[in-house]
Chains A and B, each alone.
Chain A
């Protein structure tokens, strides 16, 4: 009886020790990752420029300045093909969309604004959102676009509701993701031109549009 009890205690102690050791390893790993992240972010934050932080495990994309979070976009979902080694500091090289917003060029002599509220009776009842202005606004930004970074990472940004609607577009998307990318990944890897393709899906169309608005060419960022 005594022997069984001592064996059980020994087993429990061993299991506890194993658990503590594993927990300590995890703490060490978390600490090392935190140090890495803080080091990289401090390098960006000490400049006065805006930068982004893409937290893969935290599933969120953030726009920051001086370490302060200006905007946060939680991810609805994401998927990936290719070489996963893209973490670290990156720079946006190119922003591509099917239909990029174009600036309106106004002709001299034409006013781009309606008359002041007090003087305009005909439109007094309309809400601000109803006016069709000659301006480049958030609603004019694309809901689906891609970002190319200097480390070769290609990110497609889209909204959940803004996904391909027609059958043809859905088929094209499926072909790209399930056939084209795997094959490019296979043959590209063999030729030393590996791909890193990431697709980020956001809940709201507005999220994708505001990312397009705030992510200017040359913006630096950190992928954790």
Chain B
């Protein structure tokens, strides 16, 4: 009987102790939270420095504006498969596109090369504008199909696959047309950005060499 009482008392004490520690941790947490989120700056501005700070802020805002791309530029969202033709903050045209599938292709045999079919992300610029482009099929296109890699260039050239126009933005990547229009809006490509005919024509005509492309 006594042992039972002792055990109950010990359990009650342990429970109370736990509650006390938990209470203390809540007290500490609330004390910390009282200064969060920090609404003010870390340092006060003396009155005499106020005009200087105002000038600095204006200069910084001007510098930030100066970083924005000039003229028309392209923004591509690889997650949503959307292309935006923009001028400043204004969206001039929105197009549904297809971006990279993220699939990995591994070459069988001795060479063991591999390719990751991602659309590259970052800041690029239009390097070439091509009308009626031909696709020069790279090695992976043959490996993927289980075909032998040809030695001659003629066997690599394929017409019609890239649509009517192509905008090159470096390292073999293009914004181009597609035969697979029902797959627009999905991530299916080998890294290039596929655009529907109408949108591609509009983007191709609006954009000039050197225009910026932001892919995220």
Contacts and interface: CB of A to CB of B under 8 A. Distances in A.
Interface of A: 28-29, 31-36, 38-39, 41-42, 45-46, 48-50, 56-57, 63, 65-68, 70-71, 80-85, 87, 103-114, 116-118, 124, 126, 128-129, 131, 133-138, 179, 182-183, 185-186, 189, 209-210, 213-214, 216
Interface of B: 21-22, 24-26, 28-29, 32-33, 35-45, 50, 53-54, 56-57, 60-61, 63-65, 67-69, 75, 77-80, 89, 101-108, 116, 121-123, 143-146, 179-188, 214, 216
Contacts of A186: 21, 24-25, 28-29
A31 B57 contact: yes
B105 A108 contact: yes
B29 A32 contact: no
The 9 closest A-B pairs by CB, nearest first: A109-B146, A136-B102, A84-B36, A32-B41, A186-B25, A182-B25, A135-B101, A48-B123, A38-B60
A46 B187 CA distance: 31
19 contacts: A32-B41, A36-B41, A38-B57, A41-B64, A45-B64, A45-B67, A57-B37, A87-B38, A110-B144, A113-B188, A116-B179, A117-B179, A128-B186, A131-B183, A133-B183, A134-B101, A136-B187, A185-B25, A186-B28
Contact of B188 (A34, A118, A135, A185): A135
A32 B44 contact: yes
B106 to A, nearest CB: 6
Contacts of A28: 44-45, 50
Contacts of B29: 81-82, 182, 185-186
Contacts of A134: 101, 103
A137 B186 contact: yes
B144 A106 contact: yes
B103 A112 contact: yes
B65 A113 contact: no
A135 to B, nearest CB: 4
Contacts of A216: 121
B216 A214 contact: yes
Nearest to A86: B36
Contacts of A80: 33, 36
Contacts of A57: 37, 39
Which has the most chain B C-beta neighbours within 10 Å: A66, A85, A126?
Answer: A66
Contacts of A137: 102, 186-187
